[in-house]
Amino acid sequence: MSLQEATQPRSLYRMTIVERLPAVGLVHHVDAQNTVWATKKRNILCRRDGAWQRLASFPFSSPRDFFGWNRLASRAARADQCNVFVNSKGRVLGIRANRVYSLEESGELCELFAIAGDCVLRRGICEDPQGWTYFGEYSRNTQRAPVRIWRLSPDLDSYELAHEFPSGSIRHVHCVLRDPYDDAIWVTVGDFKNECYLLRTDNRFQSLERFGDGTQIWRAVVLYFTADHVCWLTDSHLEQNYACRMDRRRGELEIGAKIPCSGWYGSTTTEGLHVGFTTVERGPGIQRNESSIFVSEDAFHWQEVGSFRKDIWRPVRLFKFGVISCPSGAVTSRDFFISGEGLAGLDGVAMRLRFDRRDCQP
């Protein structure tokens, strides 16, 4: 079954670029007050009532920040990589250069603790019903050292180890996500043989239920939740990628349409539209030189509504893959922010999109 044959929805969607944001690098989170949180280089920015302002700056980190003056050099140094997350109490969490911070009302960043890895993947942070914030460590971890999931209190004034994966069990954590249907916490992990699983806990990591056989079909970053299924786009540069879903009641896997590149990031809007992006890497699983934007009503049958071509800078492992990401939080179909790296027209900048539905004519 081809991608086009498998992705013919009853209604079509179109994507419109509403606003280009060259002064914004990465958009991280949209909070309950509709404040948009972003970064540009070391600066933490927020947008309220349509106006951007700088609130704080992460501490200077050597040697990466010596390269921040030049975009190509900063790509090689990974100088812009960081996370910003806002919990339901309005407390702001930041992660950069292996350090975890809380942003105080004074504008000061208070360092909390150090982690393995520079930061975590986009949308890899979530909050449980009690207001505790979770994230897992993401690093190259070539030695397969233990990997930890951390938990921070609602006021970000204390933290604790929620779970530790033993040495040799996984490479790293991709995302920690909250299931909106039952408030369970799901974890995606990877990357290679016997390391790729979906994990679920409904008791604050006292126990973990594991799904999958460790192969690339279970290699996921972001999960999409529906009433009956848990869905994902596979994240493999090694093998053909697919749209997948798992039946919640039976745990059965259903493999859908082929996807031309690995699926990294995505989100579900407040209106229930699922949005996913592919990444241009290198390997047998990468069959196009464009990062695609897909939308879906059921998170299994997808329609491509846009794409950005990989830019000219090589080698890609040094100067970044072609990546599209989006913020966590209360994203909407009419104000959907994306950020880009290594793509023509979308590198080190952000955009605001709108997705509109238009019914097909009979």
Q: For residue 329, which of 10, 36, 16, 19 has the smallest C-alpha distance?
A: 36
In a 3-state reduction of DSSP, which class is residue 146? coil
How many angstroms separate the Cα of 319 from the Cα of each of 73, 151, 247, 248, 313? 8, 33, 39, 40, 6
Cis before 327 (ω within 30): no
Please report which confidence band the pLDDT of residue 126 belongs to, taking 50, 70 and 90 as the band edges.
very high
DSSP per-residue letters across 186-255: EEEEE-STT-EEEEEESSTTSS-EEEEEESGGG--SS-EE-SSEEEEE---SSS-EEEEEEETTT--EEE
Residue-wise pLDDT tens digits, 165-192: 999 999 999 999 999 999 999 999 999 9
Written as six digits, the tokens of 201 are 């806990």
Report the pLDDT value the prediction gives residue 11, as an integer from 0 to 100.
65
Whether 136 and 172 have beta carbons less than 8 Å apart is answered as yes
Residues 296-334: pLDDT tens digits? 999 999 999 999 999 999 999 999 999 999 999 999 999
Q: How many CA atoms within 13 Å lie on the side-chain side of 203?
A: 4
pLDDT at 215 over 70: yes
Task: Give me the pLDDT at residue 75, please.
Answer: 96
Pairing of the two strands 26-30 and 328-329: parallel
Cα–Cα distance for residue pair 99/113, rounded to 1 Å? 6
Look at 6 and 166; give whichever has higher pLDDT: 166
> Over the chain, what is the mean pLDDT?
95
**Res. 7: pLDDT tops 80:** no
C-alpha distances in Å from residue 186, one per residue of 127, 165, 230, 313: 11, 15, 10, 36
- The architecture CATH gives domain 3-359: 7 Propeller (2.130)
pLDDT of residue 10: 54
Tell whether the model's pLDDT for residue 33 goes beyond 90. Answer: yes
Does position 361 have pLDDT exceeding 50, yes or no? no
The reported pLDDT for the residue numbered 2 is 34
Peptide bond into 315 cis (omega under 30): yes
- Model confidence band, residue 359 (pLDDT cutoffs 50, 70, 90): confident
Which residue, among 114, 76, 71, 70, has the nearest Cα to 95 in the 3D structure?
A: 114
Q: Are 58 and 95 in contact (CB under 8 A)?
A: no
Residue 3 has pLDDT above 70, yes or no: no
Least confident of 9-18, 38-47, 272-281, 336-345: 9-18
pLDDT reading at 354 higher than 50:
yes
Please compute the mean of the pLDDT values over residues 126-154 and round it to a whole number.
98
Residue-wise pLDDT for 71-96, tens only, equals 999 999 999 999 999 999 999 999 99
Residue with token string 């104000």: 335
Task: Give 270's Cβ-side CA count (13 Å radius).
Answer: 13
Radius of gyration (C-alpha) of the chain in whole angstroms: 19
